[in-house]
Amino acid sequence: MHKQRRLPGCRTGAVWLGGLASWLMASMVQAGEKLHDPARGWDHLWNEVLVDITVIGIVFAIIAAYFVIRYRRTSPGQQGSATGLSAAAAVAWVVIPGFVFLADDLYIAAQGWSLWNTYRDVPADRLEVTLESGMYSWDYTYANGVRTQNELIVPAGKPVMLKMHSRDTIHSHYLPDFRVKEDSMPGRVTYLWFLPKEAGKEHLVTCTEYCGVMHSYMAGKVIVKTEAEFKTWLDQETAKLGNKAKMT
Amino acid sequence: MNIKEWIFTTDHKRVGILYLIGSIAAFVVAGIMAGLMRAELSAIGPTVTANPTTYNVWLYAHGAIMILGFQIPALTGFFANYCIPLMIGAKDVAFPRVNALSVWLFYVGVILALLTFVIPDPPDVLWTGYPPYSTITTGNTAFYTFTVLTLGFASIIGGVNFLTTVVYMRAPGITWNKLNIFVWCILGAFVMQLIFVPVLGSAVTLISFDKYLGTHFFDPANGGDVLTYQNLFWFYSHPAVYVIFLPYIGVVFEIVATFAKNHVFNYKAAVYGGVGGIVLISGEVWIHHLYVSGMPDWLRIGQMVSTLMISVPVGLLVISLVGTLYKGAISFETPMLYALGVVFLFLIGGLTGIPLAVTALTLNLSETYYVVGHFHYVMAVAGTFAIFGGVYYWFPKMTGKMYSEFWGKTGFWVTFVGVNAVFWVMMDIGVKIGLPRRYYDYAQFPEALQSQQIMSMGAAVIAVGAAITILNWIIGAIQGPKAGNNPWGSQSFEWTTVSPPPHGNWPSPPSAAESWNPYAYGKR
Ligand SMILES: [Cu+2]
Ligand SMILES: [Cu+2]
């Protein structure tokens, strides 16, 4: 008797790997086309990953529970009866699970990368607003110089991009309804974007980086208006700004 | 018993027990901090204190003391000290006096941490100490710096000691491939400590330089960069998660093999693939703590892949662990309940970490209760269950006496119910409404009230379970019945000497037989 040197699964493995790669590419392209709204993409990917981890968890839990019940000690002094693994089996028990885990990792990574690109590629037809955070307020400045504090007023249906920095400690501008946050800090400009959809709605803004004693009170809101309402509001504020400029 | 003998002891077993006593005391203090926070959060608005700074000091103390004062010293101080020389058949560690120094440095560190409660301007920088806040706060950041440096130094000299001990002091016949998994895990943990602790040391030192000496390492107005600190900090502190994980999973391996009376399944895969793989990847994943901190996009994506790949070595360890149950002869004394509890908690904690590896998902999840729930499952609770299980497992070895099985099991089930009530609900509320962590008050999230109250009640249940456990140890150590030298029928080398072992461990230097293996159960 002699042990076979070559692992029988090698060629099949290569075929599988090729198939997996092309499937990954296909699913990435598909995901990229589907998602124009990061928040929706987030919910989609979260659900997918949740199914993935739930299945893995249940499989492991059932196997462990089965072993625990099936192999409980029935008489004192009883010993386990597992025999050692052959060299080939030991290698297979590394290569096969390793391959499965790695495949799952790469699948999730591909989906995650695709969604990441949605989060980071800001659509061109956007509203850009500058945010300066400080202890303890969110100060927004629109392109024409209009300023608001703790209230970000935006039109429905238009992507909003925040260019952020901080005047003191690190803060993090979190929009739970839009599934996005990014830190703002001194010395760097960071950005995020989101897509407000429904006019008449308000969304919470909250701070998620410990910034000082009043951290938990550092709240604001995003107020979504219709395109027309938003224009009226911005014109009014711009006029006020003009009047002020004339007076001084 | 002579107090002086304990203070000047260089016996690794006594040093270990000193580590155990100190870390359990730290656990109690940090647990009280958690209780105060849970009481504060049981209602919206000021509850226990009207001062958010007071809450932040509890938060700081809870995190810093649990990690640096309890888990790391219990795992790499107590278990490593007590078990390693016994497991490798050595009479002591390589440098017994350095070892004694490390335990007393640890006590100095714990006392520094406890001074938080008496100095007028306690540190309020959380366990992370991020600038610019830590350099402009009126809180005393220097205490933070010195606490971390002292505990870090204690750990480094421990690392040198244990690496030397395992390399040079194994008894004849105890070869590398016959080492206990726990020994490999401690080697892995200390290799990481030696590489990464100095990085943390420089980070926290530079903060105090900035704050007290007027340097500008982290001050962008003068050419510094706030993110440098976060990079240095997590370059250590993510591997620190594995410095806790490896020893605790090592303890669980020892318990599972002994109570299943079985070989470790695929030993070499667990050691070289699992432990080795984790040590290799541990230094390439820290960016997942900076996914929302404005790091370059390519780095955030690259470390998403490396972070996900941690699942490969971790998966190999879990397969070995669960595989050890296969065809075993399993009995369910208290240590085994804890070990199986760890498997369950780690499955939940490990798998809920996968979404957090995905950069895009973290844009929503980071800094919420989801993260806090996840890392409590995977590190805090699973690690603590392993420590409790390990203390029960080696209890008869340390004391020569037996604890009460009834109270041991009762304490386990009470704690188990409590931790799931707290941390499952915590992850749930975090993902449902995005409740941010580190909030003294959650007036913006009134819908979180009910979950907060369930968590607060769960915390009270945990306190009862932990109290039962600690009392059970104290009473067992004083008046437990005689246990015998090897009550579990373990094959591992530490059980070949008397319980408790004398100074020097064996009357004459032992050696292991050709057929010996720490997991040689059943037929071969
Ligand atoms: Cu804040
Ligand atoms: Cu980490």
Structure confidence by residue, pLDDT tens digits, B205-260: 999 999 999 999 999 999 999 999 999 999 999 999 999 999 999 999 999 999 99
The continuous run of DSSP H or E covering B392 comes out as helix B382-399
- The pLDDT of B173-188, averaged and rounded, is 97
User: Could you report the per-residue pLDDT of B482-507, keeping only the tens digit for each?
Assistant: 999 999 999 999 999 999 999 999 99
**Nearest residue of B to residue A110, measured between CA atoms:** B305
In DSSP terms, A161 is beta-bridged to A128, A193
3-state percent helix, strand, coil for chain B, nearest multiple of 5 = 70, 0, 30
Give A80's contacts in chain B (Cβ within 8 Å).
260-263, 327-329, 521-522
In this structure, is residue A21 part of a structural domain? yes
In this structure, what is the dihedral angle of CA atoms B218, B224, B225, B228, given to the nearest 10 degrees?
Answer: -70
**Could you identify the residue written with the tokens 């105060």?**
B36
Q: What is the least distance, in Å, from the CA of A243 to any CA of chain B? A: 35
Q: Is the pLDDT assigned to residue A33 strictly greater than 50? A: no
What is chain A's mean pLDDT, rounded? 89
Residues A191-196 have a mean pLDDT of 97
Choose the closest CB to A206 out of B133, B444, B489: B444
Instruction: For residue B92, give the nearest of B178, B6, B13 by alpha carbon.
Output: B13
Domain covering B10-496 assigned CATH 1.20.210.10 in the classification:
yes
Report which residue type is found at A22: S
Give the residue from A77, A97, A120 where a domain finishes. A120
Do the chains contact at A53 and B133, CB–CB below 8 Å?
A: no
Model confidence band, residue A15 (pLDDT cutoffs 50, 70, 90): low
Q: With contacts defined as CB-CB under 8 Å, which chain A residues touch B309?
A: 102, 105
Chain B residues within an 8 Å CB radius of A50: 355
Residue type, B95: F
**Same domain for A175 and A99?**
no
**Distance in angstroms (rounded) separating the CA atoms of residues B398 and A135:** 53
Domain boundary among A72, A98, A120: A120
Q: Do the chains contact at B325 and A207, CB–CB below 8 Å?
A: no
- Residue B472's contacts (CB-CB under 8 Å, 6 or more residues apart) are B403, B404, B407, B408, B411
Residue A235 structural domain: 127-247
Burial letters B167-193, b for 16+ CB under 10 A, else e: eebbbeebeeebbbbbbbbbbbbbbbb
Considering the domain architecture, whether residues A91 and A154 belong to the same structural domain is answered as no
Long-range pairs of B16-19 with CB within 8 A, sequence gap ≥ 24: B16/B77, B16/B78, B16/B79, B16/B80, B16/B81, B16/B82, B16/B83, B17/B78, B17/B82, B17/B398, B18/B103, B18/B107, B19/B73, B19/B74, B19/B77, B19/B78, B19/B81, B19/B103, B19/B106
Which of B224, B434, B438 lies nearest to residue A210, judging by beta carbons?
Answer: B438
Tell whether A81 and A48 lie within a shared domain. Answer: yes
Residue A237 belongs to some domain of the structure: yes
Query: Is A82 inside a domain boundary?
Result: yes
Phi, psi of A78 (to 5 degrees): -65, 145
Question: What would the two tokens of residue B446 be?
Answer: 């009134």
Residues B294, A185: C-beta atoms closer than 8 Å: yes
Which pLDDT belongs to residue B83?
97
Asked if pLDDT for residue B118 goes beyond 50, the answer is: yes
Q: Tell me which of A45, A79, A193, A211 to substitute to probe the interface with B (most B C-beta atoms closer than 10 Å).
A: A79
Size of interface A-B (CB pairs under 8 A): 252
Predicted pLDDT of residue A235: 95
Distance from Cα B472 to the centre of ligand 1, integer Å:
43
- Indicate if the pLDDT at residue A4 is higher than 90: no
Distance to chain B for A165, nearest Cα, Å: 11
The CA A209 to ligand 1 mean position distance, Å, reads 5
Which structure tokens are listed for B153? 């130094």
Residue A7 pLDDT: 44
Confidence at residue B410, expressed as pLDDT on a 0 to 100 scale: 98
Distance (Å) from the alpha carbon of A247 to chain B's nearest alpha carbon = 34
Q: Which amino acid is at B439?
A: Y
Q: Over 80: is that where the pLDDT of A6 sits?
A: no
Answer yes or no: is pLDDT of B329 > 50: yes
Q: Do B359 and A112 touch (CB under 8 A)?
A: yes
Note whether B62 and B68 are within 8 A (CB).
no
Q: What is the pLDDT of residue A20?
A: 64
B437 phi and psi, to 5 degrees?
-80, 170
Say yes or no to pLDDT of B433 above 50. Answer: yes
- pLDDT higher than threshold 60 for residue B14: yes
Query: Among residues of chain A, what percentage have pLDDT more than 90?
Result: 79
For residues A151 and A234, state if they share a domain. Answer: yes
Domain final position from A98, A120, A142: A120
- Interface contact B358-A104, CB threshold 8 A: no
A4 occurs within a structural domain? no
Provide the pLDDT for residue A16.
62
Spatial CB neighbours of B100, under 8 Å, sequence gap ≥ 6 = B8, B9, B10, B15
Sheet holding A151-155, edge to edge: A151-155, A220-225, A202-207, A171-175, A180-184
Could you tell me the CATH number of the domain that includes residue A186?
A: 2.60.40.420
Q: Does residue A131 share a domain with residue A242? A: yes
Q: Which amino acid is at A144?
A: N
Question: How far, in Å, from the CA of A4 to the mean position of ligand 1?
Answer: 63
pLDDT of residue B294: 87
The helix (H) or strand (E) run that includes residue B173 is none
CA distance, residue A242 to nearest chain B CA (Å): 33
One domain, residues A165 and A63:
no
Q: Looking at the structure, do residues A201 and A226 belong to the same domain, yes or no?
A: yes
Residue B111 has pLDDT above 60, yes or no: yes
Nearest partner of B164 among B191, B182, B185, judged by Cα: B191
Q: What is the pLDDT of residue B459?
A: 98
Peptide bond into B132 cis (omega under 30): yes
- Closest partner residue to B360 (CB to CB) among A80, A90, A112 is A112
Q: Which of A74, A208, A218, A221 is the best substitution to test chain B (most B C-beta atoms within 10 A)?
A: A208
For residue A8, the model assigns a pLDDT of 44
d(CA B351, CA A52): 9
Cα–Cα distances (Å) from B115 to A234, B21, B121, B170, B242, in that order, read: 54, 19, 10, 41, 28
Would the pLDDT of A29 be above 60?
no
Rounded to whole angstroms, the Cα distance separating B45 from A190 reads: 33
pLDDT at A185: 96
Same domain, A109 and A145: no
CA angle B355, B361, B363 (to 5 degrees): 135
What's the domain count of chain A? 2
Q: Which of A101, A131, A175, A178 to mutate against chain B (most B CBs within 10 Å)?
A: A101
CB contact under 8 A, A210 and B126: yes
What residues of B are in contact with residue A118 (Cβ under 8 Å)? 360
B440/A215 Cβ within 8 A: yes
Please list the alpha-helical segments (H only) found in chain A: 10-34, 38-70, 87-120, 227-247
Using the beta-carbon criterion (under 8 Å), do A72 and B332 form an inter-chain contact? yes
CB B207 within 8 A of CB B254: no
A135 and A240: one domain?
A: yes
What number is the average pLDDT over the span B136-160?
A: 91
CA atoms within 13 A on the CB side of B506: 18
Residue numbers in B near A170 (CB within 8 A) = 130, 132-133, 226
Within-domain flag for A62 = yes
Contact B262, B490 (CB under 8 A): no
Distance CA A27, CA A114 (A): 9
Domain contains A1: no
Residues of chain B found within 8 Å of residue A185, distances taken between Cβ atoms: 220, 226-227, 293-294
Mean pLDDT of chain B: 95
